[in-house]
Structures are given as structure tokens and as C-alpha cells.
Amino acid sequence: MSTHVLEHNEPDYLQVKSKHKGIFAWILSTDHKRIGILYLITMGIFFSVAVLLGFLMRMELISPGKTIMDPQTYNSLFTLHGVIMIFLFIIPGLPAVFGNFFLPILIGAKDVAFPRINLLSWWLFLIGGLLAVISIFLPGGPVDTGWTFYIPYSIRTTTNVIPALFAAFVLGFSSILTGINFVTTVHRLRAPGMKWFKMPLFVWSLYATGWVQVLATPIVGITLLLVIIERTLGVGIFDPALGGDPILFQHLFWIYSHPAVYIMILPAMGIISEVIPVFARRTIFGYKFIAFSSLAIALFGSLVWAHHMFTVGMSDTAMWIFSLLTFLVAIPSAIKVFNWVATLYKGSIELEPAMLFALAFIFHFTIGGFTGIMQATLALNIHIHDTSFIVAHFHYVMFGGTGFGIFAAAHYWFPKMFGKIFNRQAAKAAWLLIVLGFNTLYFPLFIAGYLGMPRRYYDYLPEFHIYHFISTVGSWILILGLLIMLINFFVALKRGRKADANPWGGETLEWKIQSPPILENFHEIPVVETDPYDYSKYEIDRKESK
Ligand code: HEM
Ligand SMILES: [Cu+2]
């Protein structure tokens, strides 16, 4: 493999001259790395806005009664917060940013299979995002239906449901195109010797995710269009007043939106599988189990949608089956956790920032997983349905899991992407605040929810005050940590020390090329001979030194 990195003096992808000038060299670029950065910037902005909305909601909830806003505003805020976090941050997050940047590199390719379609997906993402933002300011006011757009309310409300639905529809296209691109890239563009079982696990996870994106997203796209049709033409598909079936909407919605949970979590699991072996200096335990469990999660995870609907009035048989299937999805998820922990066992662990975020991921994901099993239990589900227990659960999975996966990836790959190294002490301090703040923010909501605090409520009874108060204080700590993390990255971009090609001692292909990479990633396409996580030399060293 070519390791004579520094002898060539080609400009890296950040400096490459193209036929376009200035910003156009970016927004018209078909280089997968630049597209990844475009997603990073747009998503970063959307994320900040949604965190701000979350902060405002928490301020409202710090004490009972009206604190800083009226109820209608609160409804719009949780809708926008949800829509932005889900459709503009956590679903596209890992595939679009880190998948775009690293998938081709990890399999030894120069780009994705369809670079122009890749650019088109970013444009659709941007347009969809802007539409969602514009919908806030149109007459009628911001949507207030919740991000799930449940019928019949989303047909009755006079707020701007149609532009918001249309925005989500456009975003769906973007997601489908990314999925098609990744699946094709994995099939067609692997370097010589990169057999299926030599692929890094992040690639496996993106591959499984790609299939879910392609197969599930069209369903929600059509469903959202049907709601628009229902609102404008009143056909009577979903509207009970016209003989339609509101529960049909919920089925169609969750047939996509439950698998979407795996679009969110699988790539994060893939990143954890990259980070752990590197910082434990151990060959990953159970490579094939981890690879296949991604496929199993994608497959079984697509069959469990109605666990969101145990209280709508389904037949007992349906409830039993969906409950059982949901328990089954826990198995491949647990396999991954066991394999990560087994990899850590007797490793020589280095607590670098990326590793710290990965460990926090495992901790939060385990809590999210167990509380998910609680919800899959029919009797318990009836008790905790639509309480803040659910809010705590999905924030543990989505934020504590995928969010932390994004942070792990950001710290792990930052030196490769920008050729700079950040301040590791500051990164660890940020990590500590984020973990503390996160748990202070969301753990009390489990208790409050179990005791009966409903979700999506603007006001509450005095006995819930203490939980909300602690939770709001937690949000301040969390946001402080997020700010430190962000500032640390910006300072590193401006003034960071130059990063080596391989600062963490990784074995996958991205660490064998220069930081930041050149336009076509590799000077010559590598021939792959070793496994992606071959740390046997460290393991032998360790045995000998005993
Ligand atoms: C600083 C960070 C955050 C804060 C303070 C926050 C706070 C909140 C609050 C107070 C609600 C309203 C719950 C309700 O009324 O039922 C909420 C809802 C929601 N949050 Fe967050 N959140 C944060 C981060 C995130 C992240 C990172 C995600 C996604 C990954 C997320 C996803 C959601 C979703 C989807 C809802 C909608 C709940 C619903 O409509 O039922 N949040 N959040
Ligand atoms: Cu689900």
C-alpha cells in the first residue's frame, strides 16, 4: 500500500482549485468530502437552532404555570424542535456528514458511485430545510401538530401544516438518494482485496442504513403527500369525518418512522465499532456478529412499527405480535453492546475524547434500550404511554446514543478532515459537562413520567416541579458543555497544531492517507490485504511484557 504520503505535493481537498469561484466552488462541488462538509455546516446550524428551541422549552417548564411564553407558542416550539432534530439533524446526520466524507475513503474509492446525485441530495436537503424554516413565517403561524403530524388534528389545525409536510417530503427525497448512492458505492467501488468481511464496520452500518433509507422513506413520502391531498381536496383517506381512517395514518407513519430510528442509530453504532478497537488497541471482538447484527436490526426493526400504537385500539393478537417482535430487536442490539464490552476487556484503554464519547454512548444506549424494553411490555406501555418517560427514553437513544455518536465521530475524524488537532483537555472538560448535563436533564423525566407527568404539556401539577426544575438546570450544564465543544473545534480550525496522518494509531484506510486528504483521496488505489482492525501486534506485545 502506498505510504509515501508526504512526498507528493498535491493540494488537499480544501485547497483544490475548481472551475467555480468562491462559495460556488463548494456549493457546486461533487467531491464527496466537500459535500460532507456542506452537510456539516448546514446541519450544525439547524442543530443550534433546535437546541435553542429546546432551551426555551426548558425555561418555560422550570416552574408551573406560564413562565416565558403562551401555550400556543409552546406547541409550535416542540413541533419545530422535533421536526428539526429528527428530519434535519439526527436522520441525515451521520450518513450525510461522516458517511459522505469517509465511506469512499474507508473502502479505498475515489468518490461515491453517483457524485452528481450526491450534490443533488445536499441541495434537496437545503431546500427542504429552508422550506421548513419559511413555513414558520407564513401567515397561519408555525405548525403545532408535533413532529408526528397525527390525524385528525393535522387536518383541522389552521397553522402551516402544508409547507411543513412538503418540506419533510423534499427531505425524504434527499435521504433516498443518499441511500441509493451508498448501497451502490459499497457494491461497486470497493478497492481490490476489500472483500465484504474486510469492510470497516462503519461501512457495514451505512450499508444496512442505506437499504432502510431506500425501502422505508418512500412510504412516509407518499403518506405526507396524502395528508396534503386530504387537507386541500378532502378526499376522505384519513379524516374520520369523511369516512377516512386516522389509524391508517399512524400505521403508514410508523412503518417509516420506526425504521427511521435505525437510520439514526445504526451509523452511530458503526462509529462506536470504529472508535473502540482503536483506543483499546484490540482487534474488535465478534466482527461478523457486529456486521450481521446491523443487517438483522435493519430487517427486524422494520417489522415492529405498531409498538407506537399499543393504546390506539388494536386487536390483542396484533399487540402480542408487535410486542414480541420488539423484544427480538433487542437481541442484535445487545450483541453489539456485548461485543464492544468484550473488546474493551483487557484492552489498553486510552481515554481520548472520541473514546470518552463512545463509552458514554454505550452507557446511554443501554439505559435507552432497557427503557425501550419496558415500553415494549404491553401492560407497562399503557401506564407510561405519552408521559415524559417516553421523552426521556427517546432522548437517551437519540441524543445520548446517536448524538454522542456524532460527537465521537467529530473528535475521532476532525484531524483527518481538517488536518488540525483540537485541545484535548478542553474536549474532555466539554465531555464531562455534556454527560453530566445530559443525565441531569433527562433522567428526572423518567421518574416524573412514571409518576404521571404527561408529555407535550405546557403546564403541570406542583408535585412535578422538582423534576422539571432539576431537568432545566441540567439543560444549562449541557448547553455550556456543547458550547465549549464547539468553541474548541473553531479554535482548532484557526489555530490548531498540524495533525499527523494517523494521530490515534488507527488501522483503517483513512489513516493511511494524508490529512486533510487530496482530491481523489489516494495517490494510487490501495490493495487491501489485512483486516480492518488488526491490533494483533499490540496484543502480542502486551502478552510478552507480562
Ligand atoms: C439541549 C438539548 C435539548 C433540550 C433542552 C431538549 C428538550 C426538549 C423538550 C423540553 C421537549 C418537549 C417535550 C414535550 O413537550 O413532550 C423536547 C421534545 C423533543 N426533543 Fe428535545 N431536547 C434537546 C435535544 C434534543 C435532541 C438532540 C433531539 C434529537 C436527537 C431531540 C429530539 C426531540 C424530539 C423529537 C422531541 C419531540 C417530542 C414530541 O413531539 O413528543 N431533542 N425536547
Ligand atoms: Cu419504534
**Per-residue pLDDT reduced to its tens digit, 175-222:** 999 999 999 999 999 999 999 999 999 999 999 999 999 999 999 999
Cβ-proximal residues to 5 (8 Å cutoff; 6+ apart), any chain: 501, 512, 513, 514
Give distance in angstroms: CA of 391 to centre of ligand 1. Answer: 7
Give distance in angstroms: CA of 389 to centre of ligand 2. Answer: 15
Report the pLDDT averaged over residues 149-160.
95
**SS3 of 518, please?**
strand
Q: Return the closest-CA partner of residue 12 out of 419, 372, 316, 379.
A: 419
Instruction: Give percent above pLDDT 90 in the chain.
Output: 92
C-alpha cell at 412: 475521532
- Tell me the one-letter amino acid at 493: L
Q: What is the pLDDT of residues 270-281, one digit of tens each?
A: 999 999 999 999
Q: What is the pLDDT of residues 49-106, one digit of tens each?
A: 999 999 999 999 999 999 999 999 999 999 999 999 999 999 988 999 999 999 999 9
Please state, in angstroms and rounded to a whole number, the distance separating the CA atoms of residues 99 and 409. Answer: 10
In this predicted structure, what is the pLDDT of residue 8? 61
Q: Return the closest-CA partner of residue 389 out of 471, 324, 465, 449.
A: 449
Instruction: Give percent above pLDDT 70 in the chain.
Output: 98
In this predicted structure, what is the pLDDT of residue 3? 45
Q: What ligand is nearest to the CA atom of residue 468?
A: 1
**SS3 of 383, please?**
helix
In this predicted structure, what is the pLDDT of residue 129? 95
Task: Using the predicted structure, report yes or no on whether residue 400 has a pLDDT greater than 80.
Answer: yes
Report the pLDDT averaged over residues 244-259.
95
Q: What would the DSSP string read from start to end of 134-155?
A: HHHHSTT-S--STTTT-TTHHH
Task: Using the predicted structure, report yes or no on whether residue 545 has a pLDDT greater than 90.
Answer: no
Q: What average pLDDT does the chain have?
A: 94
Report the pLDDT averaged over residues 138-157.
94
Q: Which atom of ligand 1 is nearest to the CA of 148?
A: 40
Report the 10 Å Cβ neighbour count for 147: 19
Q: Which atom of ligand 1 is nearest to the CA of 475?
A: 5
Assess whether the C-beta atom of 35 lies below 6 angstroms from ligand 1.
no
Assess whether the C-beta atom of 477 lies below 6 angstroms from ligand 1.
no
Assess whether the C-beta atom of 54 lies below 6 angstroms from ligand 1.
yes
CA angle 80, 272, 94 (to 5 degrees): 35
Lowest mean pLDDT among 4-8, 166-170, 233-237, 341-345: 4-8
Nearest CA residue ID for atom 27, ligand 1: 399
Please state, in angstroms and rounded to a whole number, the distance separating the CA atoms of residues 247 and 239. Answer: 10
Task: Using the predicted structure, report yes or no on whether residue 543 has a pLDDT greater than 90.
Answer: no
Q: What is the pLDDT of residues 493-534, one digit of tens each?
A: 999 999 999 999 999 999 999 999 999 999 999 999 888 888
Q: What is the pLDDT of residues 412-454, one digit of tens each?
A: 999 999 999 999 999 999 999 999 999 999 999 999 999 999 9
Task: Using the predicted structure, report yes or no on whether residue 1 has a pLDDT greater than 50.
Answer: no
Report the pLDDT averaged over residues 113-119.
97
Assess whether the C-beta atom of 472 lies below 6 angstroms from ligand 1.
no
**Which residues are in the CB-under-5-Å shell of ion ligand 2?**
258
C-alpha cell at 140: 397561519
Nearest CA residue ID for atom 16, ligand 1: 456
Q: Specify the pTM.
A: 0.94
Q: What would the DSSP string read from start to end of 392-432?
A: HHHHIIIIIIIIHHHHHHHHHHHHHHHSEE--HHHHHHHHH
In this predicted structure, what is the pLDDT of residue 546? 57
Nearest CA residue ID for atom 6, ligand 1: 54
Distances 96 to 15, 49, 129, 205, 264 between C-alpha atoms, Å: 22, 19, 14, 13, 11
Please state, in angstroms and rounded to a whole number, the distance separating the CA atoms of residues 151 and 248. Answer: 9
Give distance in angstroms: CA of 152 to centre of ligand 2. Answer: 21
Task: Using the predicted structure, report yes or no on whether residue 2 has a pLDDT greater than 90.
Answer: no
Assess whether the C-beta atom of 391 lies below 6 angstroms from ligand 1.
yes
